[in-house]
Amino acid sequence: MSDFREDGALALEWVASYLERAGELPVLSQVEPGAIRAALPGAAPDDPEPFSAVVDDLDSILLPGITHWQSPRFFAYFATTGSEPGVLAELLVAGLNQVGILWRTSPALQELEEVTVDWLRQLVGLPAEFRGHIEDTASTGVLAAAIVARSLTPDRRVLVCSEHAHSVGEKAARLLGLELRKVPTDDVYRMRPDLMREHDACLVLATIGTTGMASLDPVPEIAERCAAAGTWLHVDAAYAGSAAILPELHGLFAGWERADSIGVNPHKWLGVPMDCSVLWTRRQEEFRAAFSLVPEFLRSPDDALNLSEVSIPLGRRFRALKLWAVLRCYGRRGLQERLREHLRLAELFESWVRAQPGWEVTAPRHFSLVCFRREGSDADNERLLGSVNDTGEVFLSHTRFADRYQLRMAIGNFRTTEEDVRLAWDLLRREAAAL
């Protein structure tokens, strides 16, 4: 059998050198579908292999099939960072292998989770009445909120969200047998509250930082209407919520303190490796009423809430350890510095696009996402994106709004520098000229 310390040193060295050279690898994996599967044996080995063989195959077989989310030139979807403290914490999490099914099965897991989500609550400026826990993803958070909302108003079978809300709303509606009502948006892609018809809805899903163009639904007005109609309001701030740690952006989050529940993904823009999605609610008792189910074999005499009673899964990972490590090792100031740098780089990129004839910025920019396109047809822009991504030097993604194909430059990796952003812009112009 392998030697744990020796193998551990090998793995750590591998990760350290990977993080150093991630920027030199083709950002978007260039393999064809099925290629990785074809290179792998069809069955598990009969006899033990050394751990070093796993690392060898990681290099030779898997690495070509890795799209490098850790690359500083990853600008697609919403760019993320598995920061060093987060990566190391993930090792500790696996080493401890806690299974938080009840408070007593890991008091530290449960209480650290409560403490870290409360630290983050303070950092983003939400009131103390919000209690939180960690979900795997924002998708699960929206689904959980919709389950609670439906249980409170069972005869309301509608979920309302804007036409630009993330598909998590539609998926939750489908899974719960609810009708989905997509509300039109105004000229800056904000949900139109006057068209919501919230009275027969169990849940309204408002978004701060939509996926396509990071637009802002008018949460104060939506909250007002939901309160009057007795409709649950969930604010999805999966991407943008991390930016609420910046006091100068607080205005963009106006009204979210009136939501019944809020989702923010530290695994998107706060340096925590996948997965870590915080769900806060002012109404934790309603979550408990919807989810608490304690069979005989899980009964305990402890006078403590089990987090499994306010969420869907029974077993929970020790995700809080990652969030704790990141919040401590960067501190509020360190995280603020990184996010401000992303905002600066996005502003810079936006200014280059605006100044270049034949290019346009296509949506207001509030955070670190710039939506833009080059003059010409949708097919031209699609071809441009394809040729830029084929170079392997950067990876950008697209969306569609205003009935046009749109390019997205999402800055969010802690290792991204101005030089990386400049390289992307030079590449876009070079490929556009070549088409």
Beta bridge partners of 370: 409
Find the part of the chain contacting ligand PLP (CB under 6 A) among 54-62, 170-178, 206-214, 422-430.
206-214
- Could you tell me where the DSSP H helices lie in 359-403? 378-390
d(CA 149, CA 165): 18
Q: What angle do CA 209, 241, 309 make, to 5 degrees?
A: 120
* Residue of 22, 89, 126, 138 interacting with ligand PLP (CB under 6 A): 138
Q: Is 265 in the site for ligand PLP (CB under 6 A)?
A: yes
8 Å CB contact between 364 and 390: no
Other C-beta atoms closer than 10 Å to the C-beta of 422 total 14
Find the part of the chain contacting ligand PLP (CB under 6 A) among 41-49, 61-69, 81-89, 231-239.
231-239
- Could you tell me where the DSSP H helices lie in 159-237? 168-176, 219-229
* Residue of 69, 74, 78, 287 interacting with ligand PLP (CB under 6 A): 78
Q: Is 362 in the site for ligand PLP (CB under 6 A)?
A: no
Q: Is 76 in the site for ligand PLP (CB under 6 A)?
A: no
Determine the size of the site formed for ligand PLP (CB under 6 A): 16
Task: Give the list of residues 6+ apart from residue 145 with CB closer than 8 angstroms, or none.
Answer: 203, 232, 234, 260, 261, 263, 279, 281
Looking at the Cβ atoms of 229 and 320, the one nearer to ligand PLP is: 320
d(CA 38, CA 52): 21
Looking at the Cβ atoms of 272 and 325, the one nearer to ligand PLP is: 272
d(CA 76, CA 421): 13
Beta bridge partners of 201: 158
* Residue of 137, 356, 391, 417 interacting with ligand PLP (CB under 6 A): 137
Find the part of the chain contacting ligand PLP (CB under 6 A) among 34-42, 133-141, 143-151, 279-287.
133-141
d(CA 134, CA 275): 9
Q: Is 166 in the site for ligand PLP (CB under 6 A)?
A: yes
* Residue of 70, 81, 83, 277 interacting with ligand PLP (CB under 6 A): 277
Q: Is 196 in the site for ligand PLP (CB under 6 A)?
A: no
Q: Is 238 in the site for ligand PLP (CB under 6 A)?
A: yes
8 Å CB contact between 188 and 363: yes
Of residues 132, 103, 94, 100, the one with CA closest to residue 115: 132
DSSP-derived secondary structure letter, 16: H
* Residue of 113, 236, 257, 260 interacting with ligand PLP (CB under 6 A): 236
Query: Residue 159: CA atoms inside 13 Å, Cβ hemisphere, count?
Result: 27
Of residues 9, 20, 137, 13, the one with CA closest to residue 68: 20
Looking at the Cβ atoms of 307 and 369, the one nearer to ligand PLP is: 369
Q: Is 207 in the site for ligand PLP (CB under 6 A)?
A: yes
Find the part of the chain contacting ligand PLP (CB under 6 A) among 81-89, 202-210, 334-342, 347-355.
202-210
Smallest distance, ligand PLP to C-beta of residue 142, A: 7
Q: Is 393 in the site for ligand PLP (CB under 6 A)?
A: no
Smallest distance, ligand PLP to C-beta of residue 240, A: 8
Residues that bind ligand PLP (CB under 6 A): 77-78, 137-139, 166, 168, 207, 209-211, 236, 238-239, 265, 277
